[in-house]
A and B are shown apart, each in its own frame.
Chain A
Amino acid sequence: MARIIVGISEMAISESAGDVLVTHSLGSCLGFALYDSTMKIGGLLHSMLPLSSTDYPRARKNPAMFVDTGVTKLLEQMFKRGCSRENLVVKVAGGARVLDRQDLFRIGERNYTVFRKVLWKNNLLIAGEDVGGSVSRSVRLELGCGRFYVRTGSEEREL
């Protein structure tokens, strides 16, 4: 039983029922959780930027940094462990935006747009989401039951 902290531009997968996958300070980053309800395998990704084309060498070194390569990589690893598309539950949080809709810092919205595209290509639907707004979030995924919680400040709710 462990509390596994997923850092910025990292991902983690666990098959242990007692484990909890956690990521903090999502800001405009996206926290993407995958859970196979039959195999009881869960994965969590914390991606900071939308597209790997921004910096290919960095994306090769660390695919989790970018939403496009990160989501694809996490899916691949889940499938490799025997998860199947039909049993995967997808939840997502983050993608906050700053006050003014200035293009330079619409990173959160771009992250979410790319995320939707990658899911669409992979034939997956979103079961729960808490995105946008002007708040920073933390999330946790409980293995065993697959529950996904989003925390903003001192408030926590299940998605």
Chain B
Amino acid sequence: MKRYLHLLLVAALAFAVLGMMAPARTTTAQEAPSGVFSGAFDYLLPPEHHLNSFARGGLGTNLSSTYRSFVELPHAFYMWASNEYVPLLGESWGFADDGSYYWTKVNPDAKWSDGSPVTADDVVGTYTIGRILGWSQFKYIDKVEKEDDYTVRYYFIDQPSLVAERLILKEYIVNAANYADLIAKAQELIDSGATPDDDAWSALADEIREYRPEQLIASGPYVYSLDDVGDAYMTLHWQPNSLFSDSVNFGEIRIWKGETEATTPLVLSGEVAHATHVFPPATQEAFQDAGIRLITIPRGYGPALLFQHDHYPWNIKEVRQATALVIDRAENAFLTNGMGATPTVYMSGLADISVPTWLPQDVIDQLDRYEFNTERAEELMRSAGFERNDDGIWADADGNTVSAEYKFPAEFNDFAAASLNAADQMNEFGFDITTRGVPWQQCAEDIRNGDFELSIWSWASGSPFPARQFWNPLQRHNYVGLAEGQKGINFPMQFEWNGEEVDLDAMITATGAGLDIEAQKEMAGKVALIINDMMPFVPLNYLVSVEPFNEKLVAGAPADDDPILKNPSGSDHFIIYDLLTGVLRPAE
């Protein structure tokens, strides 16, 4: 017996030693160009990972908006600094003179990885399937038609819209031949007059989702198969037929799998050149100590303190304004995520980076910046009928204290830290706030249902348009934008302001309607002033993506003052454009 146990012990030790002593594997060079760009994303493994661009588990799920353009190109890429689109798959685009449709023209030189040309049929086919799956573009357009071999028209249901333009230009175009049967079935169904409520429609949608293409046909300069998807990383291989095949400088894109905890050692060991994960401040410091550059770009949103307006006293404007004044936002931003957050400056409901673009200077001058000022907050509280009681807690004439439960998503480190600090600062001023961390799904559900007093969620968004930024949270988490029966923050959107009846919901929508930019700016100015005064939520800070970029591995990263760094992370990430156009290259 003892001998067997000895044997087991020896086998166990041998197992461990064998594992540790195995030699390192070398990366084999792929086709020209040479060099490997290594990023990271928590993609899925097969069998969940497949090559259907229209279904969860396909390209959208596994490549994220940062890497997907390397395989499937959209028509264009947006530059935030200059507010313009630059071409990727598209050659030109625009609104019809009468505004009845939008048109795009595919670059006639564009080819798929199998050598066939990219044509208008691919674009129309992509949208034919998108219609069956209920794509959001069809809220704005009702018909997608081929004009010639490369040009496609998108007919508006109502008036033309810049938001619709962005949705059209940012959509990834899929190879129609790879989905030919499904596109034919979809077209037949649409032509038959069927609607999404019909069983045949649902059945086809199921068929589309369950379809598993055997291969990926790419318009981008890289392609991959499921054999390239490994447990630790997946590899995109260069292919010669794309518009960008000649300009890219990497033969492979290696995407390491994992969230922050798995990516950290990979960045430190020099395996990963660039990562978009949220790293805590201590890890950011470790990166810097290791000589890895940190590039900061906007995330497009930040944490906002949400008031549930049915709850007294948060329905009183002065109390909300006082709350904004007693939270030192610089401290709050630092504690939210060190370099990864900046204090909100303008308090306009619009991300600070968008303020100079969209708000007239006279409006900017009028904005109250709510700089930390407890004396001013005390005055506001007194003007609303509150005084500190014997315990130092603010209370109204009836003795009702300013008390609330502050609910926050416990798993979101940044939102949790922002909440705890905001509550601390409010308590220091004399409010009675208790904090409660809950699972994020619960927190989201409670916010939608209006089942909270104070909570936290995002404000603004990664869209360059004011309509989409004001929307969060005033429409997103308010009765006007939620499902029936959900009230969210329940901030009344129709009220009297400065002696005038306003409909804030309609005003926000108007900031994105039509094509008249000047009219949109004027309306955005009015909305900003109302939000700034009413303070329906407190935009605590704005998140910044602090991204490690190892310049020992990849050269050509933009300088800190490069305008492309005004682009937020996500589908406008600078990596997309700089890699495709050959700005990024292997370090010497």
Chains A and B are bound partners: no
Identify the B interface with A (CB < 8 A).
Answer: none
- Residues of A whose CB lies within 8 Å of any CB of B are none
